[in-house]
Structure 1
Amino acid sequence: MQKKLILDSNLLSITLDRLCQQLIEIHDDFEDSVILGMQPRGVFLADIIHEKLEAAIGKKIHYGQLDTTFYRDDFRRRETPVAANSTNVPFIIEEKNVILIDDVLYTGRSVRAALDAMIAFGRPKKVELLTMVNRKYTRELPIEADYVGIEVNTMDSQKVLVELEAQGHKSNKIWLINKEEK
C-alpha cells in the first residue's frame, strides 16, 4: 500500500499548539465563544483542542459535539443507511462565536450541514471553521476554513487519513493514500 505521511506525531503536536494560539489571539478568554466538534471524526480533534485551550487559559470553555447526519444533502442518496452519531450541545449558542472543528475539509458539504444543524441551538453571532487538513481544489460549496493546520493538494483518487491516539491508533499521524487502498 502506498501511503504518504503528511504530518507525523511531533509536527501534528506543533500544529495543534499553533492552532490553539491562533484561537486564543482571536477569542481571548472565550467568554463569548463556544467550540463544536463535528461528528464523527472532528470530535476527536476538537477534544484535543478543547483540552489544550482550557489548560492554556485556565478556565472552562463551552464545548459540544454536533452530528450532521440528517442535515446532509446526500443523506438519502446512499445505498446503505447511515447511522447517526450523538449530538451533545448542553448550552445555547445564541449570540455566541461558534468555532466548528472538523478533521478534514473536503467538499464543504459537512460544514453546510453543520450550519443547518446548529440553528436548533440558537442563532450564533459568528461561525468560524477550524480544520486540521484543508484539501485544496476540491470544494463543491463556497466554504473555507478560518484556521487551517495544513493545506494539501489532492486528487479525487486520494484520501486524507487522520489517525489519532484518541481513536485507538498508536500515534497521531496524518496520511495521504489512494482511495481504493486502506
Structure 2
Amino acid sequence: MNKKTAVLDQSSMMRALTRIAHEIVERNKGGENLVLVGIKTRGIPLAKRLQEKIRQIENVNVPIGELDITLYRDDLKKEMADPQLKETNIEVDIAGKTIILIDDVLYTGRTVRAAMDAVIDLGRPGQIQLAVLIDRGHRELPIRADYVGKNIPTSDKEVIVVKMSESDQQDDEVSIYEK
C-alpha cells in the first residue's frame, strides 16, 4: 500500500476527541448512567481517552469496557478457520445504561452490528450510541454514528489507517493509503 496523505495528526486527533466528549456529555445531560465500550483493538484506547476527557469536563469517572466481536462477525467462516478470541471485559451491569460503542473507523457497518449483538448478549442496555474517530462512508447496513471525529469520503481503492501510541508504538496519525 502507498500512503497518499495524512488527514489527522496527534493534535487534531485530540481536538476531535475533545469535541466528541463534549457532544456525549451534552446529549446525555452529563456523564451519569453512561458506559464507554471500546471495540477491540483501537476502540479501547479511544474509549480510555474519552473517559479521561469526560472526567475533565464533568468530574465523573464513566465506567469503561472492552468488547471482542470476533465470534459475532458475519464473515467469520470466510476469513478465519480458527478465530483468535480476545477478552471481552465489561465489569459493570449494562442493564438500563446508555452504552457508547467506540471504534476507530466506521466503514460498512458490519463491525458495529456485531458489536451491538455482543452487547445485547451481555444485558439489555437502555440505549446504544456510536462514537467513531473516522466515518469513511460505504455503508452496507443502515448504521449511522452519533458522534464522528472526522468524515473522510474515500474510494473503495483507499484504506484508512489509524495509528495510536497505545497500540502501535508510534505517534497518533490517521492516513489514507491506496491499495
Deviation at residue 38 of structure 1 after TM alignment: 0.6
Deviation at residue 59 of structure 1 after TM alignment: 2.3
Aligned to 1:94: 95
Aligned to 2:20: 19
Whole-Å Cα distance in 2 between the matches of residues 12 and 91 of structure 1?
28
Deviation at residue 29 of structure 1 after TM alignment: 3.1
Q: How many residues align?
A: 178
Deviation at residue 80 of structure 1 after TM alignment: 4.7
Tell me, yes or no, if the aligned pair for 2:42 and 2:164 is still in contact at 8 Å. Answer: no
**TM-score w.r.t. length of structure 2:** 0.93
Tell me, yes or no, if the aligned pair for 2:31 and 2:54 is still in contact at 8 Å. Answer: no
Whole-Å Cα distance in 2 between the matches of residues 72 and 126 of structure 1?
22
Whole-Å Cα distance in 2 between the matches of residues 79 and 72 of structure 1?
10
Note if 1:166 corresponds to 2:173.
Answer: no
Whole-Å Cα distance in 2 between the matches of residues 70 and 11 of structure 1?
34
Whole-Å Cα distance in 2 between the matches of residues 41 and 110 of structure 1?
13
Does the C-alpha gap of structure 1 residues 151 and 112 become closer, same or farther in structure 2, counting only changes over 3 Å? Answer: same
Q: Percent identity?
A: 36
Letter in 1 for 2:171: S
Greater alpha carbon shift after TM alignment, 143-152 vs 3-12 = 3-12
Deviations along 1:86-145, whole A, 9 cap, x unmatched? 100111111111110000001100100011101222111111100000012x11111010
Letter in 1 for 2:11: N
Greater alpha carbon shift after TM alignment, 148-157 vs 49-58 = 49-58
Letter in 2 for 1:40: T
Deviation at residue 79 of structure 1 after TM alignment: 4.8
Tell me, yes or no, if the aligned pair for 1:40 and 1:85 is still in contact at 8 Å. Answer: no
Counterparts of 1:69-148 in structure 2, within 5 Å, are 69-136=70-137, 138-148=138-148
**TM-score w.r.t. length of structure 1:** 0.92
Greater alpha carbon shift after TM alignment, 141-150 vs 41-50 = 41-50
Unaligned runs of 5+ in 2: none
Secondary structure of 1:153's counterpart equals coil
Secondary structure of 1:2's counterpart equals strand
Tell me, yes or no, if the aligned pair for 1:34 and 1:63 is still in contact at 8 Å. Answer: yes
Deviation at residue 46 of structure 1 after TM alignment: 1.2
Letter in 1 for 2:73: R
Deviation at residue 27 of structure 1 after TM alignment: 2.1
Whole-Å Cα distance in 2 between the matches of residues 140 and 81 of structure 1?
26
Deviations along 1:15-54, whole A, 9 cap, x unmatched? 1111111111122332211111111221121121112212
Does the C-alpha gap of structure 1 residues 82 and 155 become closer, same or farther in structure 2, counting only changes over 3 Å? Answer: farther
Counterparts of 1:58-69 in structure 2, within 5 Å, are 58-69=59-70
